[in-house]
Amino acid sequence: GQAPPLSFVGLGPELATNLEIISSEPVQRYRDHTADVIDLSWSHTNFLLTASVDKSVRLYHFSKSNCLHLFKHANLVASVDFHPLDDRYFISGGLDKKLRLWNITDGRVKDWAQAPEVITSTRFTPDGKYAVAGLLRGQVYLYEADGLKYYTQIACRNRSGKNRKGKKVTGISFLREVDDKSEHSEEHHPSLTERLSETGRSVANLVATKVLGNPEALSTRRTDRMLVSTNDSRVRLYGLNDFCMIRKYKGHTNNSMQIRARVSESGSHIACGSESGHCFIWDVDPNKNRLKKNMINKQIQSTKDKSKSTDYFEASKASLPIVTDTLFFPTMTVRESLLTSQEVFPLSLGMDRIDDDFSSAAILTLDYDGTIRVFVRKTCIDNILEACTPRGGTMA
């Protein structure tokens, strides 16, 4: 049947309710799967992979209305992910406990590895060097992407209490700290290695090669971090240099659903759905200034406990209020929607004059009834308006 129209929640200022961040009609509708779709993965070239309970992965391109290829599996497929650098390859995992590396061009499995438990989540690391598999009992296994050789593992569980045996891994994400060579910096600030003398650089490279086993380790391994969501209502942040837990985030409810936490494009904030019908937002580093997340017409509630330091708002009014997924909109998408809005333009010409993290300005949520909602952070709009006043400096 015909899909219901997208509903944008919000009865606040008209300035914000008319922003069109996503189109009201879908670009494509695909109906090839015969059972529920559990996971999706987009490539950097706009190809789409879908993993389903019907024991298959399907390949699509948004410009085509038909399925491009069918990859059959022996059992339910719980997760799928494109290789971040070469989208001729992807990994899949599911009920048969096998992590598979597929060659799309050949339509065949290139390598595979047997995991000790059911695979519930899979992802490549951002550099594409490792394939990561989250398992049913809270383990996270890392394999070398080339050959799927076992590398190491992490136990994502509490040391004591009812969940000490571990609960299902429901999602894996990655984030990087902004380094000295960030694209967002207007001027280049030399990194520590660049400031060293020639002798100092040689020593640093020797340490990276001999001790860390990778000549690029000084610039990459220290910045990569992994975010793991589990069915004990916890989200844990791990460093990929030592695989130790950096921080734990809680406050949401995720006891049985496949709910995963998502990271904003800037890497500064985390968003996650909840079985309570709310969307939860955390600062990646709670020691920094907390973002003022006054969503339009939504009253944000904050917790005080450091281990539960979070903001949250109601994101579902369904009879079974479960927010199944959340997603931050990229900075470019938010900027373009503001520039094309008749209400905000030309006020949005002052966007470049404000200090605001646009990658955390808008959030998409989905609930158990299939409703898509878009929430916009009110302080983002307020900052744009202020920048267009004499006090903001954009008017003489």
Return the domain boundaries, the chain: 36-177+207-250, 258-396
Torsion sign (Cα): 56, 60, 62, 63:
negative
Q: In the prediction, which pLDDT does 357 show?
A: 86
pLDDT at 163: 85
Q: What secondary structure letter does DSSP report for 3?
A: P
Residue 348: predicted pLDDT: 60
Q: What CATH class has 36-177+207-250?
A: mainly beta
Rounded distance, CA 190 to CA 192, Å?
7
What is the mean predicted confidence (pLDDT) over 235-251?
Answer: 93
> Encoding tokens for residue 270?
């985390």
pLDDT band at 159 (very low <50, low <70, confident <90, very high): confident
Please state, in angstroms and rounded to a whole number, the distance separating the CA atoms of residues 20 and 337. Answer: 6
pTM of the shown model:
0.80
Residue 225 DSSP SS3:
strand
CA 90, 363, 270, 180 torsion-angle sign? positive
What is the mean pLDDT of the segment spanning 317-334?
A: 92
User: pLDDT at position 91, please?
Assistant: 98
Q: Are 221 and 212 within 8 A, CB to CB?
A: yes
List, in order, residues 6 or more apart from 262 with CB less than 8 Å away. 173, 270, 271, 272, 325, 326, 327, 328
pLDDT for position 97: 98
Helical H segments across the chain, by residue range: 14-17, 192-195, 198-210, 217-220, 331-340, 378-387
Q: Could you give the CA distance from residue 186 to residue 14 in angstroms, rounded to a whole number?
A: 34
Confidence of residue 210 (pLDDT cuts 50, 70, 90): very low
86-98: pLDDT as tens digits: 999 999 999 999 9
**Residue 223: pLDDT over 60:** no
